[in-house]
Chains A and B, each alone.
Chain A
């Protein structure tokens, strides 16, 4: 089954302000009592979006002008904490196709890439400027171009960061590695036999 070659993503964006947004925030643990990932989109950022009485907060994610956004913009160390893939799954199921942040936690970055969801970085100033522009122009689209390694919005183009192997895997449609791992089974056997344990 060939995977999509992800060379660019275009869509409207929503700023989710804050640094160190952890995966508990993205999907609270109480919503992980499930044996499939179906339906997680509904609970994405639940405690950020909902007050304890179930009514909506004033967070950007609830604002009308950002509905339909497919690119999330946040601060540094996005996705820290728990390794739960439920977090990128919830974002994807809520309609997000990519995340722009000042930095990502390693496990979240790996999990998202493996789902075909590009995570790209901007420096602090570039990220702030982009967020401010999006707040003024919420209905406008932005483009994350992995090929040229630029984020384009309005008449601007800023350089993005992405680990080389992630970029290549996304662009070549190899972001889900399972098939490649399976095809190497003979070499895997060699390593398995060489180990002194099990």
Chain B
């Protein structure tokens, strides 16, 4: 048996075995943002330490930035304080900061790839659970806590235990109107929100081979929702084509050498996995959540399951979810009115997501009962979208076109649900209160399905709404 990519990258970055048997792992690339880093810089200063390898850390600001005001100071003084702390810390420590005036600011998991900072074979850590996104490039990328951000800043290493590797194959062809978001929501529905605890997910098979990098990122992004701290896809020609020419990608002769190295890191066909799970792509439908965790999903058109039909360990959470959402078992979601539609986030805030959404909108209007937001994932995504007129398509239809940030995915900025509002959202978490109102409700779905909800004013099957275009 030969090694998986995970094993090869792990071996390359292992520094030593620590006294308790865990591994000291070198973190080649470190990404930081304003929410989980200030305390780490504070701890460093308390100990009189400097950042050891400042050239290996990159910063951006995403969680707290307002998406509807440009000038500072922001109306929220706490948000202003956080952005200023990051400016001060990065300047003092000599760290590159994609700040708002650079034109390169955005959600950290969108900025890394679009700058070419994210590359195959790296270890990447960030104080953010959706760091699993970067696994789309064949990197071992995972979220860490703030004390670990401190450890990386001070030593460029972490104390880690090796994960097991589960291979997830999706073979065959996806049906019309079925997207990358549906693939990951389906996987979460089948494997559960803690099925991946202790695992890295390696995604493969025909569907992933044919996916673009942006589609691969959508899937890897939500690995953590299944409990898998990282998820990755072996690098291939699609990966290399995406990276070539990006600002931080290797150039000239270095490029060819890097591609050779990256190819050598991919898992071989006979790699040794702890287990393998197979999915048939033709069995995946547009998928939506009905509950309060991302594993509580159903194919659109299917009824919410009867609690008694669920596995015993899922029943109490299902009952709690139905009560919170105000739904009943056996109910179908199609036709339920929505109050808010949110298109954006590190899951679905990339140019291809916005393009696909805009293609569906053309000429139609958001339903009068709906507040619809489109929030590009980065300033570069926003600029590219505006260059091809997407902003106008969205605003003509009645969407609000906002500036880059995490926005209503977790509502640390002013974009929040109010009361029990129901939101059709392209983000990654439908936890209680996640979108800023302690009683607010979230239904996760793909961008195309979110557009259908916005135009119809209710949860809808995009394939019916858009006919062949939705396919």
Residue contact A76 to B313, C-beta cutoff 8 Å:
yes
Interface size class of B (residues with CB under 8 A): 35 or more
For B115-149 the 0/1 string (1 means CB < 8 A from A) is: 00001011000011101000000000011111110
Q: Which of A4-12, A140-148, A173-181 is the contact stretch?
A: A173-181
- B412 proximal to A (CB < 8 A): yes
Among A35, A187, A191, A195: residue with most chain B CB under 10 A: A35
Residue contact A25 to B432, C-beta cutoff 8 Å:
yes
Q: Which of A20, A168, A192 makes the CB contact (< 8 A) with B193?
A: A20
Residue contact A24 to B55, C-beta cutoff 8 Å:
no
CA distance A81 to B131 in the complex (A): 12
Residue contact A107 to B29, C-beta cutoff 8 Å:
no
Residue on A with the closest CB to B147?
A114
A118 CB to nearest B CB, Å:
14
Residue contact A30 to B157, C-beta cutoff 8 Å:
no
Query: B122 contacts which chain A residues (CB < 8 A)?
Result: 197
Residue on A with the closest CB to B81?
A35
Query: B320 contacts which chain A residues (CB < 8 A)?
Result: 18
Query: A104 contacts which chain B residues (CB < 8 A)?
Result: 197
Residue contact B42 to A20, C-beta cutoff 8 Å:
no
- A83 proximal to B (CB < 8 A): yes
Q: Contacts A33-B76, A111-B147 known; A172 to B20 CB distance under 8 Å?
A: yes
Scan residues 241-297 of chain B and give those whose CB is less than 8 A from a CB of chain A.
250, 257-258, 261, 292-293
Residue contact A20 to B20, C-beta cutoff 8 Å:
no
- Residues of chain B at the chain A interface (Cβ within 8 Å): 12-16, 18-22, 24, 26, 28-29, 35-36, 38-39, 42, 47, 52-53, 55-56, 63-64, 76, 78-79, 81-82, 85, 119, 121-122, 127-129, 131, 142-148, 150-151, 154-159, 161, 193-194, 197-198, 224-225, 227, 229, 250, 257-258, 261, 292-293, 313, 316-317, 320, 410-412, 429, 431-434, 436, 438-439
By Cβ-Cβ distance, the 5 closest A-B pairs, closest first, are: A85-B145, A111-B145, A83-B143, A35-B38, A33-B78
**30 pairs of residues in contact across A and B, judged by CB atoms under 8 Å:** A19-B316, A29-B63, A33-B76, A33-B412, A35-B85, A47-B438, A52-B438, A77-B194, A77-B197, A82-B429, A84-B35, A84-B36, A106-B198, A107-B143, A107-B224, A124-B313, A165-B20, A166-B20, A177-B151, A178-B47, A181-B154, A181-B158, A181-B159, A184-B16, A185-B155, A191-B26, A192-B156, A195-B28, A197-B250, A198-B53
